[in-house]
């Protein structure tokens, strides 16, 4: 797998992905761009720097031992009066294929077993695998709308709810949702776009030196992958450590009311509907501060993350390109504060 730290350019995409790993509550990332811009390569390479996750041993849903109120039915029954045995696993990237059916995604209830034994038997789906991990959907704009709705609902609530013939089953499904797409193949509905915490538009590099470096690194990797990976091992380990430290540090960050007012001003200035953009900007700014090793959120944090949070939520006129606006407007909106 191509090292995350060896990817040339695409800094906004990398920043958006890292901030969502630090705080999954941001709401995920939608990566839009032309083919051949390292979208899938970058997302899959994230697995090398993802932090470890503690979960209950042998639980098919990877229940978090620190949140007994969110246990799956199996763990809730098994650990009523005892502490569960835990294990630590590296966070991973779980991919959802375009051909996945609703049952494959959400899981299935074995109704025959319920009728015969009186006990619920559930076959876990992709959402169960994704709990505590990162769920990646390539070409998400080609996925059926009802599947996308299901993914976004689970990502927002942290729970997967299945009901068949009056029999229901619930299990935790908290994950970082990352989708990628080529706008030339169609777009997502505005209602679905707004559900993503961040979006970033990636383009091919236009500078000769950068394009040359992209090709050189790819050829070097193809020639000897193991040596190439080893070359970036120290840098990858340092970034992974920085992410873990940021996840711990973010718990100590308090948000000043002035920062909240700045986020509200940005939302009003750019005509945001509802309050989702405001909340996402605050969470993203906190994650950005933690990533830079600070416990205080500044105006610069908001300016850094605002394009990622606002671009896909802007109202557009017919036939106008989406996701593009002048970044200087963000600074202009906040310059007198």
Active site residues: 276
Q: Judge whether 64 and 159 are in contact, CB under 8 Å.
A: no
For 57-101, strand residue ranges (E) read 86-90, 93-95
Q: How many distinct helices (H) and strands (E) make up the chain?
A: 15, 11
Q: Judge whether 95 and 134 are in contact, CB under 8 Å.
A: no
Give buried/exposed letters for 190-221 (b at 16+ CB in 10 A, else e). eebbbbbbbbbbbeebeeeeeeeebeebbeeb
Distance in angstroms (rounded) separating the CA atoms of residues 158 and 124: 15
Name the DSSP letter for residue 261. Answer: H
SS3 state of residue 104: helix
Distance in angstroms (rounded) separating the CA atoms of residues 100 and 126: 9
Q: Judge whether 245 and 49 are in contact, CB under 8 Å.
A: no
Distance in angstroms (rounded) separating the CA atoms of residues 92 and 14: 16
Of 303, 308, 304, 313, which Cα lies nearest the Cα of 334? 303
For 203-321, strand residue ranges (E) read none
């Amino acid at each position: 797998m191509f090292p995350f730290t060896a990817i040339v350019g695409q800094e906004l995409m990398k920043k958006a992905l890292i901030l969502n790993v630090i705080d999954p509550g941001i709401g995920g990332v939608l990566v839009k761009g032309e083919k051949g811009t390292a979208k899938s390569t970058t997302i899959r390479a994230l697995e090398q720097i993802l932090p470890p996750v503690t979960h209950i041993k042998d639980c098919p849903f990877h229940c978090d031992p620190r949140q007994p109120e969110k246990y799956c039915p199996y763990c809730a029954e098994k650990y009523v009066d005892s502490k569960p045995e835990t294990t630590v696993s590296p966070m991973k990237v779980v991919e959802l294929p375009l051909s996945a059916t609703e049952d494959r995604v959400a899981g299935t209830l074995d109704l025959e077993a319920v009728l015969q034994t009186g006990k619920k038997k559930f076959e876990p789906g992709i959402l169960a695998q994704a709990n505590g991990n990162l769920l990646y959907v390539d070409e998400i704009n080609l996925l059926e709308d009802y599947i996308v709705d299901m993914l976004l609902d689970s990502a927002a609530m942290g729970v997967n709810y299945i009901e068949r013939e009056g029999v229901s089953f619930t299990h935790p499904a908290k994950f970082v949702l990352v989708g990628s797409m080529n706008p030339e193949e169609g777009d997502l509905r505005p209602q679905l776009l707004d559900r993503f915490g961040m979006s970033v538009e990636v383009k091919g590099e236009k500078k000769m030196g950068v394009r040359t470096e992209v090709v050189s690194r790819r050829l070097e990797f193809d020639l000897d992958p193991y040596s190439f990976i080893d070359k970036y091992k120290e840098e990858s380990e340092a970034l992974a450590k920085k992410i873990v430290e940021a996840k711990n540090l973010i718990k100590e960050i308090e948000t000043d009311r002035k920062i909240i007012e700045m986020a509200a001003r940005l939302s009003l200035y750019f005509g945001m509907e509802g309050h989702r953009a405001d909340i996402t900007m605050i969470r993203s700014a906190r994650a950005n501060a933690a990533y830079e090793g600070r416990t205080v959120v500044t105006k610069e944090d908001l300016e850094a993350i605002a394009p990622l949070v606002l671009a896909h939520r802007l109202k557009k006129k017919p036939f106008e390109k989406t996701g593009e606006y002048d970044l200087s407007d963000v600074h202009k909106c906040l310059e007198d504060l």
